[in-house]
Chain A
Amino acid sequence: MRLHEYQAKQLFAKYGIPVPKGRIAGTSSEVRQVSEELGGSVVVKSQVLVGGRGKAGGIRLAKSSEEAEDLATQILGMEIKGIPVRRVLVEEAVSISQEIYLGITNDRVSQMPVLIASPEGGMNIEEIARRTPEKIARCQIDPLLGLKDYQLRDIALSIDLKRQHMKTFMEIARSLWKVYVDCDATLTEVNPMVITAEGRLYCLDAKIVLDDNALFRHPDLADLRDTDGEDFAEVTARKYGVTYIKMDGDIGCLVNGAGLAMATMDILKLQGGEAANFLDIGGGASAEKVSAATRLILSDPKVKAILVNVFGGITRCDEVARGVLEAISGKETTPPLVVRFLGTNEVQGYKILSGTQIRPARTLLEAAELAVSLAKGGVQ
C-alpha cells in the first residue's frame, strides 16, 4: 500500500526528518490562505498516487498567493493518468543548490534491506543508475542489527557529501531507517533530498510503500489507504479476498492460485488471445467468493468469453461450480464459458454446471484454444 506524499511527509516530520513547511488543501481559496501564511512563494503539488505528476503539470511553482490560487484552480480540476486531483500540498518554496537521492528498500537479491544513495537525485535517478552506476552507492542492512553509523559514513563518502552536512545527513538516514522498520515499509524514499543555498537539508519529495502483509500491526496506517486511483473492481475484489487485476484483453479468467492464473493468461496469449483480467480466487474458495469473482468478470463489458481453470486441491471444484452457477443464473445472456476442472470433486463440479451452456475442456491447452475462438466469435 502506497502513501500520499503529504502522508509520508507527516510521518517523516514525526521522526524528525526536515520537510518544508506546508499544508494540505482541498480548495483554491484554502490554497491562497496557506500560501499567504507561508509568505507567498510556494509550490502547489497535486496529491495522486501515480508517478509523473510533474511532467503532467501537477506540480507548479507560484510566486504569490494570487498565483497559487490560480494554479490551484487549474490543478484541482485536472486528472492525472485518469485520477482526479482532489487535494494539493502547498509548501514553502526552497532554493536548491544540490539534489541527492536517498532510499531504503528490500533487496530481493541479498534478501536484506538495502540503503541506496546518489549525489544526483531528482527525476532522472533511474537514468543515472543505468548510465552511470558508479554514482549509485548502496549498502545492505542487517535486519537484526540495523543500520550502523559506519555504513552511513561510508555512504556519505561515496556520494561526496560535504563534511558540514554530515551530521544532518546521518540523522535523516537513521530516521528513514526507523520509519522503514517501525511502519513495516517496503520502501522509504527521499527523492530529492535537497541542500539549499543556505546549506540546509530538506526532504523535498517523500515516498512510502507499506507491506500489505504487515498492516495488521498498523491499523492507523491502514486507515490512510486511498482507493481513488484503483479500479473499482480491484477494490471490490479485495473486499472479498480475491486478487483481481484489470487487463486489456477480452477473455475473462477465473483461476485458483497466482502462478496458475499467470500460466492461464500466458497460454491464452500463445493461442492468439488476450486476458481481460488476472483473477486468483486463492485456496479453498467458497461458493460465495467465487460468485463475487464471477460477477466482477461479468461486470467488464469488454469480456467476450470466460475461462474458468481450477486445479482442485484444497479448492473444491463443486464449490467453484456452485459459485459460478449462482453468478450466471438469472442473467439473460452471459459470454460463453469454458470450464476446466481437475482434481478434488471435478465430476461433481461438471455435474452442477451440466444444465448450463458451459463448455467443458480437458486440458489447459484445449480450454485456451476454445476460449480464444469463442472470444473471436468462432465456435458457437
Chain B
Amino acid sequence: MSILINKQTRVLVQGITGNEGLFHAQQMMNYNTQVVAGVTPGKGGEWVMDGKVPIFESVRTAIEATGANATAIFVPAKYAADAMFEAVDADLPLIVCITEGVPIQDMMQVRQYIQKTRTRIIGPNCPGILTPGEAKLGIIPGGITFPGNVGVISRSGTLTYEVLDALKKAGKGVSTCVGIGGDPIKGTNFVDLLEMFEADAKTDEIVMIGEIGGNDEEVAADYIARYMTKPVFAYVAGISAPSGKRMGHAGAIIEGDVGTAASKNSALEMAGVKVARHPEEIPELMQ
C-alpha cells in the first residue's frame, strides 16, 4: 500500500512535448511508471518515446483511449490553469501540477472550482509524488530513496531530496513522498495528507517539511494533536529568515503573528511532534 499513486496508476502527461515534460516523462517511465498518454494541443496523433506513448489533442480523448487516471502537468505557467480546468472537467481523480509561477488568482479559481468535484490537485510549483518501487508523478529523483514505512510531506523541492537522502543514509525507506508545493495557494495541504498517511497500513511514521509563511504548519499541528496516532517528525525551514516582508496592513491583520518558523515549531512541539533543527537531524530524532 501507499497513498495517491502505485503500480496501477495510469499516467497522462500534459505538456509532454515540451523540454521539461518530455524529459521527466522519460524519467517516470524509467522508474516503471505507466505513462500511457500525452496531451499537447496541435500535436494529437503523433507519438513520443519511440512510438510508445501516443499524444492526444485533449485530456478527454486521451482518457477515452487509454484509461488514464492521473495527470502530471508540465505546461508553461500561463496555460497551467487551463490545463487544470480541463483535467478537472474530464473527471480525473488526481492532478499533479509541477508548473512553477502560476498566477495566484488563477490558482484561487482552480481551487474553488474543484471543491465540488472528486479531483485532488497536488501543487502547483511542486516536485510531485513518489511511491518508491512503484511509481512517480513529477520530478523527484527516483534513486534517492527506497521502499519503506516513512511517509514524507513537504512544501519544498530540493530540501525534500536532502531529507530523503538523509533518511536513506540512516536506513529508512519511504512509503510515499508528496511535495505539496511552495505557493501560497495550493490544491492539497499537510492536513489532507496526514489523514491519508494515518489511514495507510504501510506508513508507520511521518516526516513533514515546512517553510515560513502562511499557517499550514499551525493547522497541521492542531490536526496532529487531535487525530494522529502515528509519530510525526518535522523540520521547518527559515528560522534564520528576517521577520517577513509583509504585504501591507492587510497581511498583518489576517495573519497576525503566525507564519514565523518559531511560531510553527512551537505549535508543532505542543502537538507532540519532534522538531529537528536542521534536515540531517531528522533521522536522529527517529531513532
* Inter-subunit contact B254/A138 (CB<8 Å): yes
Please report which residues of chain A, range 324-363, place their CB below 8 angstroms from some CB of chain B when the two chains form the complex.
Answer: 342-344, 363
* Inter-subunit contact A105/B103 (CB<8 Å): no
Inter-chain contacts of A269 with B (CB < 8 A): 239-240
B38 within 8 A of A: no
Closest to A123 in B: B249
Roughly how many angstroms separate A116 CA and B252 CA in the complex, as a whole number?
12
A156 within 8 A of B: no
**Category for how many chain B residues contact A:** 35 or more
Inter-chain contacts of A364 with B (CB < 8 A): 162, 278-280
Inter-chain contacts of A267 with B (CB < 8 A): 277-279
A120 within 8 A of B: no
Roughly how many angstroms separate A25 CA and B140 CA in the complex, as a whole number?
53
* Inter-subunit contact B105/A211 (CB<8 Å): yes
Contact pick for A103, options B238, B248, B279, CB 8 Å: B248
* Inter-subunit contact B104/A129 (CB<8 Å): no
Roughly how many angstroms separate A315 CA and B165 CA in the complex, as a whole number?
16
Instruction: Take A114-B254, A116-B254, A270-B277 as given contacts and tell me if A186 and B104 are in contact as well, using a CB distance cutoff of 8 Å.
Output: yes
Instruction: Take A108-B184, A112-B112 as given contacts and tell me if A313 and B240 are in contact as well, using a CB distance cutoff of 8 Å.
Output: no
A314 within 8 A of B: yes
* Inter-subunit contact A186/B279 (CB<8 Å): no
Which residues does B use to contact A, with CB under 8 Å?
Answer: 77-78, 101-106, 108-109, 111-113, 139-141, 144, 154-162, 165, 182, 184-186, 209, 211-216, 219, 235, 237-242, 247-256, 261, 277-280
Which residues does A use to contact B, with CB under 8 Å?
Answer: 101, 103-109, 111-114, 116, 125-126, 129-130, 136, 138, 142-144, 181, 184, 186-187, 189, 191, 207, 209, 211, 213-214, 216-217, 247, 255-260, 262-263, 265-270, 274-275, 278, 283, 311, 313-315, 342-344, 363-365
Return 19 A-B CB contacts under 8 Å, by A number.
Answer: A104-B250, A106-B104, A107-B254, A108-B255, A129-B256, A143-B105, A186-B247, A213-B104, A214-B106, A217-B78, A217-B103, A257-B158, A260-B158, A262-B238, A265-B241, A267-B279, A268-B240, A344-B141, A364-B278
Task: Please list the 5 inter-chain residue pairs (A to B) with the smallest Cβ-Cβ separation, ordered nearest first.
Answer: A259-B156, A257-B158, A259-B159, A214-B103, A105-B250
